[in-house]
Amino acid sequence: MSDTASELNYQRTDFVSSAEQKWCPACGLYPILKGVTNTFKDLGIRKENFALISGIGCSSRFPYYVDTYGFHTIHGRAPALATGLELMRPDLSVWIVSGDGDCLSIGGNHFIHTMRRNPNVNYLLMNNEIYGLTKGQTSPTSKKGVISKTTPYGHIDPPMAALPLAIAAGATFVARVLDADLKAMKEVFTAAHQHKGTSFVEVYFNCITFADKVFENYASKKQRPVHTVEAVAGQPLVFGENNELGIRQKGFGLEVVEYEKEGLQKEDLVIHDPTDKGLAMLLTKLDQPVALGILRQVEQPSFGDLVREQNQTVIDKKGPGDLAKLLKGNDYWTV
Amino acid sequence: MSTDAQTESVEQVTIRFAGDSGDGMQLTGERFTTTSAIMGNDISTVSDFPAEIRAPAGTTGGVSGFQLTFGSHDVFAAGDDADTLIAMNPAALKINIDQLKERGLLIVNEDGFSKRNWERAGYDHNPLEDDALKKYQVFPVPISSMTKSTLEGLPLNGREMDRCKNFFALGLTFWLYERELEGTLKWLDSKFAKLPDIAEANKRALRGGYAYGENSELFRVHYKIKPNPQELKKGTYRHITGNTALAYGLVAAAQQAELPLFLGSYPITPATDILQTLTPLKNFNVTTLQAEDEIAAIGAAIGAAFGGSLAATSTSGPGMALKSEFLNLAIMAELPLVVINVQRGGPSTGLPTKTEQADLLQVLWGRNGESPAVVLAPKSPSDCFQMAYEASRIAIKYMTPVILLSDGNLANGADIWKVPEVSSLPKFEFSRFKGQVSDFHPYERDPETLARPWVIPGTPDLEHRLGGLEKDHLTGAVSYGRENHHEMVLTRAEKVQRVTNEIPPQVIHGHKQGDLLVVGWGSTYGVIRTVVEKLALEGHSVGSTHLQFLNPLPLDLEAIFENYKTILVAEINNGQLWTRLQGAYAKPMKRFNRVKGYPLSEKELQQEILQLLKD
């Protein structure tokens, strides 16, 4: 893994497999595939040292289209398999690809425990707020009131917010990007790769067939500045068509202000600090505007490193195991 | 000898220790076992304890039992009626008295038989005053108070002293059966090295119990059980429980395969010991993960196998049910994986600490689709080592999950094990890709084993994708083709069938042909063999054979069946192997099924065989 990107000199197409891509035309997953492969080529990692592990759903077909090692597993359980792989193979760059149903519904338990343990994996949640592969049922992230095949009179459940849940469970890297923003994807995916521990990235993407335009406010270049705020470490949180809006602390929460009108400076607004857990919680819960970028990042040893370090401590103390001695035990006799 | 007690020689003795779950009965039984094994007796044990950790003291729900059979000849089973019962309280008496032979020795801790205690056990009078006990030889011993007076002067409180009473009882049984104290005294010193007062107290209690037997004149007879004269092969011996043997089998396999071992597991009775035994063995290149659930446990193991480790997961029936979907993924992806199911009573939560063999059809046929897996079953606690080793070897050679069906009786039971020489363990064979990169196909098979190559991430130029969708028979790409699916269904089945090449010839005990053959699998081995060999000696035309391979079935089995008029399938379930064998051979068979959470009864099996021989 010590090669540099320039030595490897990969093209993006080196990471595209020969399998026929079978998502719907204009599905938001195509640009994400581009974003991922566009990132991989420049990470300085040899192709054979990537492993993509997915669950079940439209987005979980991802590994078939990337020419690295891959495993399309079962519904919701990719993190479990990836954890075992990462524990035994720290030399690999392990990426989990999951959807909103896969990650948050059937796989909710593994999702929480992966965040808690912090294995060194990159975990991409492709969120389109719908079940696509089963042809249009509500997902745990579908908004209230949505009409779908299983909610003909409107969706009653409240949606689940993945990022605050991840942070509450102990996530050390939490980010959000849009399928429409190739540049941001590359930046965030690269940072996710560089982060030691679990990097959880929610990618909003459009399901053109069953939930078209649910993210229209963020996808269209015109709307995006009004409805999203880019969180950049060390920078004040400003947004709006002309950056006229800012985010300010109010009590234990946040509020949007037209800061210049109120006679405030940018410095009076919230300065983004990804190590501040409370701020990350508030930012990930914002819905107008929606926060994008790396919202939380703290340095902690990864689960795999801790396990391997403990293993090594025992080896240092006891020396390599002697099988014959182990099998005999203490209470043996010889004939 | 300072007493007038006479010594009587006996060939075989079954002792049952029973008390509250906090009374240390398992430990007491284990010490008796080790001592007898070292003294050269063959031995077999069975544990019988409640699922609750400490049910209210003195209630029948909290009774814990440990039974062992030892003798001066080969011993294969421990489950039948006892010669001697040590009951520490009325509840232990109530639960166990029916398993004591007539005229058997009943030693009771009479201090435990207060009105409060016998009421708590559900008696309306003191059972020691009951005529029902007249058919036994009853020895009331004030074990608690004698223990206390033995420990006088030691800086211990009353509760600590009371906790030594099991060693007083052990000392008394040591005297009764002429056991050596030395090993246990040493063991106490090392066990309580940091608590010298506790070590001293237990040692005094042990000696006190022994002296009580010697001096009290309560017992007129004590017993001598000579060592097993059968010449043991040269080697090193120990006693071992099934769960420990399973764990060690995996460690040995990984070491011989020169692979790291990974175990993903989730605590579940009676399989948890496997996780607990492997976890400390980090210096044997063992990594364990206590996962968030049963599903994650097998998932992580599959991830480890994908990455090139020897991977295993351990569970019991309810966990096995949860693992089914992931197990199917391993079958589709054709990765090596060892899945250990230590069966317990079911369905649902069932009887967590009791034994049963009722998961056979679950592991054979309890998954969606045509899903063939290799299924093995150890026949004794010590056989668990070899079967775990074989499961690992076959999984890797054939690139397939292998399911090992142990059970609660094997898990906590123990027998004598001849420790193998490490150098004598079978070699591992791998399905590696050795050709040109341009010729690589992830699902191209070894013509002999039908194994696909194990190509792990990190291998340059051989990048490929696995998954649960049907695979093209050669490229491994997703395929929905009709002919391809049909071919893959047959190929996966044929690959498992090829494992018949690994099965040694079936062993037959008793007569090689004749009137009746008893067929069993798993932990019933000892009981069946004991009964059949006894009947054969008495002149009955019976034999038995025991299956360690349940899928595929041994190729020589059908011919063996032809040598007998009647086939009797004996199991601790409602006829699962019976169903399997009749399906496989279209041959009518009789069955013997007892599903009591306890080993088969030798007496009942014998009656059944004799009845069938008459019919």
* Residue range B157-205, pLDDT digits in tens: 999 999 999 999 999 999 999 999 999 999 999 999 999 999 999 999 9
Closest Cα in chain B to A1: B458
Question: Is A311 in Cβ contact with B467 (below 8 Å)?
Answer: no
Q: Please, what is the average pLDDT of chain B?
A: 95
Which pLDDT band holds residue B1 (cuts at 50, 70, 90)?
A: very low
3-state class (DSSP) for residue A60: helix
Q: Which residues of chain A make contact with B182, given a CB cutoff of 8 A?
A: none
B383: alpha, beta or left? (left if phi > 0; alpha if psi -120 to 50): alpha
Which pLDDT band holds residue A157 (cuts at 50, 70, 90)?
A: very high
Question: Is B233 in Cβ contact with A335 (below 8 Å)?
Answer: yes
Q: Which residues of chain A make contact with B304, given a CB cutoff of 8 A?
A: 84-85, 87-88
Across the interface, which of B283, B308, B462 has its CB nearest the CB of A314?
B283
CA–CA dist B485, B492 (Å, integer): 11
Closest Cα in chain B to A19: B477
- DSSP string for residues in A148-173: BTTBTT---SPPP-HHHHHHHHT-SE
What is the mean pLDDT of the segment spanning B533-559? Answer: 98
- Indicate whether A226 belongs to any domain: no
Residues sharing a CB contact under 8 Å with residue B575, sequence separation 6 or more, in sequence order: B569, B591, B593
What is the number of CB-based contacts under 8 A between chain A and chain B?
201
Q: Which residues of chain B make contact with A311, given a CB cutoff of 8 A?
A: 282, 287
Across the interface, which of A73, A80, A109 has its CB nearest the CB of B468?
A73
Is the distance from CB of B550 to CB of B360 less than 8 angstroms?
yes
- C-alpha closest to that of A249 among A228, A227, A232, A264: A264
Please give the pLDDT value at position B21.
86
CA–CA dist B114, B55 (Å, integer): 19
Q: Which residues of chain A make contact with B38, given a CB cutoff of 8 A?
A: 331, 333
As for the ipTM of the complex, it is 0.98
Question: Is B459 in Cβ contact with A88 (below 8 Å)?
Answer: no
Please give the pLDDT value at position B297.
98
Q: Which residues of chain B make contact with A331, given a CB cutoff of 8 A?
A: 34, 37-38, 183, 187, 238-239
Q: Is A320 on the interface with B (CB under 8 A)?
A: yes
Residues in chain B: 615
Please give the pLDDT value at position B6.
87
Q: Is A70 on the interface with B (CB under 8 A)?
A: yes
Across the interface, which of B234, B282, B291 has its CB nearest the CB of A314?
B282
Q: Which residues of chain A make contact with B31, given a CB cutoff of 8 A?
A: none
* Total domain count, chain A: 1
What kind and span of H or E run contains A284? helix A277-285
* Biggest CA-to-CA distance, chain B: 87
CA–CA dist A174, A201 (Å, integer): 6
CA–CA dist B596, B356 (Å, integer): 8
Please give the pLDDT value at position B48.
83
* Biggest CA-to-CA distance, chain A: 95
Angle at the Cα of B479 from the Cα atoms of B474 and B482, rounded to 5 degrees: 100
- Indicate whether A318 belongs to any domain: no
Q: State the virtual CA torsion across B26, B32, B38, B41 in degrees, nearest 10.
A: -110
Residue A59 half-sphere exposure toward CB, CA atoms < 13 A: 34
As a whole-number percent, the residues of chain B with pLDDT over 70 amount to 99
Q: Which two tokens stand for residue A105?
A: 């519904």
- C-alpha closest to that of B542 among B567, B523, B559: B567
Per the structure, the complete domain to which residue A205 belongs is given by 5-219+301-308
Please give the pLDDT value at position A2.
56
- DSSP string for residues in A209-223: TTBTTTTHHHHSTTT
Question: Is B287 in Cβ contact with A69 (below 8 Å)?
Answer: no
Interface mutation target, options B32, B261, B283, B294, chain A, most CBs of A under 10 Å: B283
Q: Is the dihedral of CA A193, A198, A202, A207 positive or negative?
A: positive
- Is the full-model pTM beyond 0.95? no
Across the interface, which of B262, B326, B422 has its CB nearest the CB of A323?
B422
Closest Cα in chain B to A115: B292
Question: Is B303 in Cβ contact with A81 (below 8 Å)?
Answer: yes
Residues sharing a CB contact under 8 Å with residue B559, sequence separation 6 or more, in sequence order: none
What is the mean pLDDT of the segment spanning A94-119? Answer: 98
Question: Is B295 in Cβ contact with A84 (below 8 Å)?
Answer: no
Q: Which two tokens stand for residue B484?
A: 């391809």
CA–CA dist B14, B33 (Å, integer): 11
Q: What is the CATH number of the domain that holds A134?
A: 3.40.50.970
CA–CA dist B56, B63 (Å, integer): 10
- Indicate whether A104 belongs to any domain: yes
CA–CA dist A216, B576 (Å, integer): 58
Domains and CATH numbers, chain B: 6-224 (3.40.920.10), 238-424 (3.40.50.970), 437-501 (no CATH), 508-614 (3.40.50.920)
Please give the pLDDT value at position B233.
79
Taking only the tens place, the pLDDT of each residue in B335-350 is 999 999 999 999 999 9
Q: Which residues of chain A make contact with B295, given a CB cutoff of 8 A?
A: 77, 80, 110
Amino acid (one-letter) located at B443: Y
- Indicate whether A321 belongs to any domain: no
Which pLDDT band holds residue A1 (cuts at 50, 70, 90)?
A: very low
List alpha helices for B42-164, DSSP H.
90-96, 115-120, 143-150, 158-162
Cis peptide before A90 (omega within 30 of 0): no
Interface mutation target, options A46, A85, A318, chain B, most CBs of B under 10 Å: A85
CA–CA dist B219, B75 (Å, integer): 27
Burial B264-287 (b: 16+ CB within 10 A, else e): bbbbbbbbbbbbbbbbebbbbbbb
The yes-or-no verdict on residue B3 having pLDDT over 60 is no
Q: Is A81 on the interface with B (CB under 8 A)?
A: yes
- The terminus-to-terminus CA distance of chain B in angstroms comes to 54
Interface mutation target, options A17, A58, A71, chain B, most CBs of B under 10 Å: A71
Taking only the tens place, the pLDDT of each residue in A230-280 is 999 999 999 999 999 999 999 999 999 999 999 999 999 999 999 999 999
- Indicate whether A173 belongs to any domain: yes
Which pLDDT band holds residue A40 (cuts at 50, 70, 90)?
A: very high
Interface mutation target, options A18, A21, A87, chain B, most CBs of B under 10 Å: A87
Q: Tell me which of A3-7, A193-197, B171-175 is least confident.
A: A3-7
Taking only the tens place, the pLDDT of each residue in B414-468 is 999 999 999 999 999 999 999 999 999 999 999 999 999 999 999 999 999 999 9
Question: Is A67 in Cβ contact with B463 (below 8 Å)?
Answer: yes
CA–CA dist B313, A317 (Å, integer): 27
Angle at the Cα of B155 from the Cα atoms of B150 and B159, rounded to 5 degrees: 70
How many Å lie between the alpha carbon of B547 and the closest alpha carbon of chain A? 26
Question: Is B329 in Cβ contact with A80 (below 8 Å)?
Answer: no
Of A335 and A116, the one with more pLDDT: A116
How many Å lie between the alpha carbon of A133 and the closest alpha carbon of chain B? 14
What is the mean pLDDT of the segment spanning B90-101? Answer: 95
CA B74 to chain CA centroid, nearest Å:
18
